Amino acid sequence: MFDANTLASSHVPEHATAEIIPIRPVEPCNPTRPATTRCSSCSMRSICMPADLSADDLSKLDAVICTTRAVKRGDTLYRAGDHFKSIYAIRAGSFKTVVMHRDGREHVTGFEIAGDALGFDGVCAGQHNCDAIALEDSVVCIIPFAQLEIICREVKSMQHHIYQMMSGEIVRESVQMMLLGTMSAEQRVASFLLNLSRRFKTRGFSAAEFNLRMTREEIGCYLGMKLETVSRMFSKFQREHLVRANGKTVRIVDPERLAKV
């Protein structure tokens, strides 16, 4: 088996593997064997698809989502301006989405990890609105949107699920706008760490300790501050025994007090 969990774990650096605790059993990764990409047997299904699909519905999905794509660290899955054709479910790895202003200014609009979907921004204008860049070697399921629309006309729960996913993105973005509009640098970094923690936990990893796949600069660009400020906040939290940060490895020591910052 070659599922998302296996891959995700296989990309954790050696020195940190012991700290990351997958709840689901981890099976050995066999990269020589072609990926069997079927929603019906995917361990990410509970995260990226509705729960109540029948066997019949699942076979429809399997017929549509039959290809995956590997994206190497630093490569783009799509760029702003690219023709929109598919959305992508992250099977393994992680991405950042970046919007660019005409004057060259960049802003990171989100970090997406295994189980997240990418690409809904392209439906509106028929072309993507941001760059999606892999933060590590990653694998995505390719979901042709036209075919997904057909399924959604046939399967009510799929239809509703897609609406929920898009609505969820709207809600997450509005929360992020509040963060950017009203919070201090200290509060933003605290929120960021707790948010990542919660998402890792949902996916069966440790909520307390994890590895950041993004640089301080990328975090800063996401939170609307400079990389030096991010670094200072990490140091501050460390001094206050809220967090232990060692480079990319982060341990949240006191989540309650961190939330109250």
Partner DNA sequence: CGAAAACTTGAGGCCACTCAAATGGAGTGG
Partner DNA sequence: CCACTCCATTTGAGTGGCCTCAAGTTTTCG
Q: Report the partner that residue 94 touches, choosing among DNA, its own copies, none (CB closer than 5 to 8 A by kind).
A: none
**Which amino acid is present at 3?**
D
Residue with tokens 């707790």: 194
**Where in 65-94 is the site for DNA (CB under 7 A)?**
73
186 touches DNA by CB under 7 A: yes
Min separation Cβ 83 and DNA, Å: 29
How do strand 94-100 and strand 67-71 relate by DSSP bridges? unpaired
Binding DNA by CB under 7 A: which of 123, 179, 185, 253?
Answer: 185
Min separation Cβ 5 and its own copies, Å: 25
Instruction: Please give the sequence-ordered ranges of beta strands (E in DSSP) within the chain, or none if there are none.
Output: 67-71, 76-78, 86-92, 94-100, 106-113, 117-118, 131-134, 138-144, 209-211, 243-246, 249-252
Q: Report the partner that residue 217 touches, choosing among its own copies, DNA, none (CB closer than 5 to 8 A by kind).
A: DNA
Binding DNA by CB under 7 A: which of 123, 201, 217, 253?
Answer: 217
Min separation Cβ 26 and its own copies, Å: 31
What secondary structure letter does DSSP report for 17? H
Q: Which is nearer to DNA, 99 or 152 (CB)?
A: 99
Whole-Å CA distances, 3 to 38, 43, 112, 168, 235: 10, 7, 18, 25, 37
107 touches DNA by CB under 7 A: no
Q: Report the partner that residue 246 touches, choosing among DNA, its own copies, none (CB closer than 5 to 8 A by kind).
A: DNA
Residue with tokens 């069997």: 36
**Where in 13-32 is the site for DNA (CB under 7 A)?**
13
The contact set with its own copies (CB under 8 A) reads 97, 99, 101, 105-107, 109, 120-125, 129-130, 149, 152-154, 156, 159-160, 162-164, 166-171, 173-178, 180-183, 221-224
Query: DSSP letters along 66-91, please?
Result: -EEEEE-TT-EEE-TTSBP-EEEEEE
Return phi, psi of residue 81, to 5°.
100, -25
228 touches DNA by CB under 7 A: yes
Distance CA 233, CA 152 (A): 45
Cβ(109)–Cβ(70) below 8 Å: no
Q: Residues interacting with DNA, by CB under 7 A?
A: 13, 73, 184-186, 212, 215-217, 224-232, 234-235, 245-248
